[in-house]
Structure 1
Amino acid sequence: MTTPPRTRPRIPPAPPSFMPPKPGLWTRTPPAIFPPLMGLFGLGLGWRLAAETLGAPVFIGDMVLGATVLIYAFALVAYLAKPLRRPGVVIEDLRILPGRAGLTAMSLCCVLLAATLVPFAPGLAAATAAVGAIFHLCILGLIVHSLVTGPVEGRVVTPVFHLTFVGFILGPLTTIPLGLTLLPTVTLFAMMPVAAAIWAVSLWQLWTRIPPAPLRPLLAIHLAPASLFAIVSDGLGYDMLAAGAVALGALILAALLLSARWLTAAGFSALWGAFTFPLAAFAGALLSVSDGRGAVGVAGGLVLVAASLAIPVIAVRILQAWAKGGLAAKTNAAEV
C-alpha cells in the first residue's frame, strides 16, 4: 500500500493594496509658490531703498533678501526636479493661469536676485541679470506657444500679461546701479506702450464683464508696471515721467483699496500672491521719486510698513499650503 505524496499547503495570494503608491520627491511642485517670493524680493529691495532715503536700519533689507534668496533657491530646485524628469510638464503647467503666473514669477525672481547681488558682487549681478533675461525669454516663448496652440478662450488678456510681456522692466533695477544707461532706457520706452495696451484692454474688459471672484486678486498686478516705470524713470533722470508714473500708481492703488472687499470676496487663495510684489514696488516708487522727503516720502514709509505686515503673512500661508501638500491640487499643478 503506497502513501499519497505530501503536498504543501497552498498559500493564497496577497490581497491587492488599496493604498496609492507614494509619490516621488517634488513630483508636483506648484508654480504658485513663486509670486509671493517676488513680493519678498520686492520687500527686501524696498527696505534697502528705505535705508538710503529714510535712514532705516540696513540689516532689515539684508535680512529679508538673504532669507528670500535661500527660499528661492530651494523652491527653484524643487520645481526644476519636475522638468528634469519629464520636460513636457512645463507645457502642462503653462496651460493654466496659475501656472503661467507662477512660472513667469520664477524667471523674474532670477532678475530680482541680480538686483539683490549688486552691492555685494557687481560682476555676478550682471551675469545673473543676463541669465534671468534669457530665462524669462524662454518662459515667454513657451507661453506664446501655449497661447497660440491652445484653446481660443485661453488667449484672453489678463493682468498676468504684465508679468509675461512687461517683466523685462525689472532688468534696469540691476543695470542702472551698474552704470548702464542705454539698455535700461531702451527697456523703459519699449515696455511702456506694451503696458499701456494691457491696461487699456483690461479696463475695457472690466467695463464689459465682471471677472470671477477667484481671479480678482490678479487685478493688483496692474499696480506693478506703473511703480517700476517710476523707479526706472527716476533712476534715469526722467523726473516728470517718474512723477506721472507715481500718480498713475496712486490712482490704481486707490481703486484697489476701494475695491478691497470685492477683490477678496472669494477668500484666501494662492492668487493672493498677486498682492505682494505690486505693493512692495509701489512703496519703492514713492521712496525713489521723493528721495524719502516730504509727504510722498512719508507715504512711501507707511506703504512699506503696510507691505511688511501683509507680504510675509501671505507668503507664509502659501508656502505652508505647499508644505502640507494641498497647494498643488488647489492650483491644478501638473505632475510627473
Structure 2
Amino acid sequence: MPDPKPAPQMNRPRVYPPPEFPPRRPALFARMPPAVFPVLMGALGLGLALRRGLPALGLPAEIGDMVLGAAVALWLFAAFGYLVKLTRRPSVLFEDLRVLPGRAGLAAGSLGLLLTSVAILPYVPAMAQGLLFAGLGLHAALAAALIYSFATGPAEAREVTPAWHLHFVGFIIGGLSAAPLGLIGLSLLIFAATGLAALAIWAVSLLQLFRRIPPAPLRPLLAIHLSPACLLSGVASLLGLNDWALAFLAVSGAIFLALVGAARWITVSGFSPMWGAFTFPLAAFASALFLQGFDVTGTIVLVLALGLVPLVLFRVLKAWAGGSLAARTNAAEA
C-alpha cells in the first residue's frame, strides 16, 4: 500500500508591521518642496513690475519696494528651508532633480537670488553685484548638476520641456543687474548666449507641439515660453539695443496672445501647483512693456498680474503649510 501523500503546506499570510501611532512626522523642512519657488519667483517679478510701472502711472514706486521686500523675505525663508533639507542629506538634491516639479522648482529657487540682486540694486549696488555673481555661480552649478542627472537618469527625463528655459536661459536675469552696474561686456555675453539658447528651445518646443499634444496637467508650463522673450527685451533695452528690444517684445506679444487664446485649453485640468508657471512670465511681460514706454498696455498686464499672482501665491503657500504640496509634487525627503 503506497504511503499517503503528505498534506500540502498552507502558505502563511505575510505579516505586516502595525501602522505607526501616532503617525511619524518628518523633521522640519525634511520634505521641503522645491515647487514653492516658481510662485515666489512670480512674487519677486510682480514687485519689480510694480516698481517700474507705478511711477509711469503717477504713483509712488515705494509700493513696489514694499511688495519686493515681502517677496524677498518669503524667498529667503523658503531658501533657508531647502538649505536645511540639503544639510540633512545632500544627495536629496539629485532625487528632487529626477522629477519635473523638482527640476523647475530648484531652477526658480536659484534664480530668486538673481532677482534679489535686481531688487536691492537701487539701494546697495555693491551687495547687488555680489549677489549677481553668487547667483550666476549658483545657477551654473545647478545646471551642471542637472546635466549630470540627465546623463545618469532615464532617457524620458532628457526630453525638452518649457522648464529648460529656467535651467539654461534663466541666466538672462543677471543682465538686469549687470547692465545698470556698468558690466556691459558681461551683459552682452549673457544676452547673446541666452538668446541662442532660447531660440533653440522655442524651435524644439514648437516641433513637439506639432507632433503631440502635451498632457493637460503639464500645459500650464507652456506659459514659461513667455519669460525669455520678455527678459531678453528688457536686457536689450538696458543695453541700448532698441531694435532687439522691440523685436523680442514683439515675440513676447505673440506668445502672450497665443497663451490667452489657448487659456481654457491650458487650464482644463484645474488649479495645481503648476499654475506657479503663470506668475513670473506675466509680471515680466508687464515690466518689458513699461521699459519700452507702452504704459497703457503695461498697466493692463500689470492689473492681470495683480489679480493672478497673489491668488496663486496664497494657494501654493497654503498647500505648502498643510503638507500637501510636497506630496502632490513628489518632493524627496531628507
Q: Shorter-normalised TM-score: what interval?
A: over 0.9
Aligned to 2:311: 313
Match in the other structure for 1:302: 300
1:60 to 2:63 alignment: yes
Give 5+ residue unaligned stretches, structure 1. 1-14, 291-295
Aligned to 1:335: 333
Q: Who is 2:231 aligned against?
A: 228
Residues 1:42 and 2:45 aligned together: yes
One of 19, 32, 43 as aligned partner of 2:22:
19
* Aligned with residue 321 of structure 2, among 311, 323, 336: 323
Asked whether the equivalents of residues 172 and 232 of structure 1 are also in contact (C-alpha less than 8 Å), the reply is yes
Shift of 1:138: 1.1
Deviations 1:282-312 (A, max 9, x none): 001111012xxxxx32001111111111111
- What CA RMSD, in Å, does the superposition of the two structures yield over aligned residues? 1.2
Aligned residues: 317
Deviation at 1:17, TM superposition (A): 5.0
The one of 99, 103, 110 equivalent to 2:113 is 110
The residue type equivalent to 1:298 in the other structure is V
Partner of 1:143: 146
Q: Is the 8 A contact 2:165 2:201 kept in 1?
A: yes
Worse-superposed segment, 122-131 or 16-25: 16-25
1:195 pairs with one of 184, 193, 198: 198
Shift of 1:172: 1.0
How big is each residue's C-alpha offset from its partner over 1:152-207, in whole Å with a ceiling of 9 and x where there is no partner? Answer: 11110000000000011000111112122111011111111110010000000000
Determine the C-alpha separation between the residues in 2 that align with 1:53 and 1:190. Answer: 32
> Which amino acid in structure 1 is aligned with residue 173 of structure 2?
L
**Paired position in structure 1 for 2:258:** 255
Please state if 1:218 is matched with 2:221. yes
Distance 1:21 1:126, change over 3 A: same
AA in 2 matched with 1:309: G
Contact 1:47 1:56 in 2 (8 A): no
* C-alpha deviation, 1:101, in angstroms: 0.3
Letter in 1 for 2:329: T
| Residue 20 of structure 1: how far off its partner (Å) | 2.5
The residue type paired with residue 135 of structure 1 is L
Distance 2:58 2:233 in 1: 21
Note the C-alpha offset of 1:52: 4.2
**Amino acid aligned to 1:69:** V
Other-structure match for 1:160: 163
CA deviation string 1:69-126 (max 9, x = no partner):
1111111111111110000000000000000000000100000000011011000000
Secondary structure of the corresponding residue to residue 171 of structure 1? helix
CA contact (8 A) 2:273 2:316 kept: yes
Q: How far apart, in 2, do the equivalents of 1:210 and 1:255 lie?
A: 15
Distance (whole Å) between structure 1 residues aligned to residue 198 and residue 57 of structure 2: 30
**Contact 1:230 1:241 (8 Å CA) reproduced:** yes
Q: Percent identity?
A: 51
Q: For 1:21 and 1:223, locate their aligned partners in 2 and report how far apart those are by CA, in whole Å.
A: 42
Task: Pick the aligned partner of 2:96 from 84, 93, 96.
Answer: 93
Q: Which secondary structure does the structure 1 equivalent of 2:292 belong to?
A: helix
Higher alpha-carbon deviation: 229-238 or 178-187: 178-187
Contact 2:53 2:295 in 1 (8 A): no
Contact in 2 for aligned 1:35/1:101 (Cα 8 Å): yes
| Other-structure match for 1:244 | 247
Distance 1:156 1:256 in 2: 22
1:74 corresponds to which letter in structure 2?
F
**Aligned partners of 2:224 and 2:278 also within 8 Å:** yes
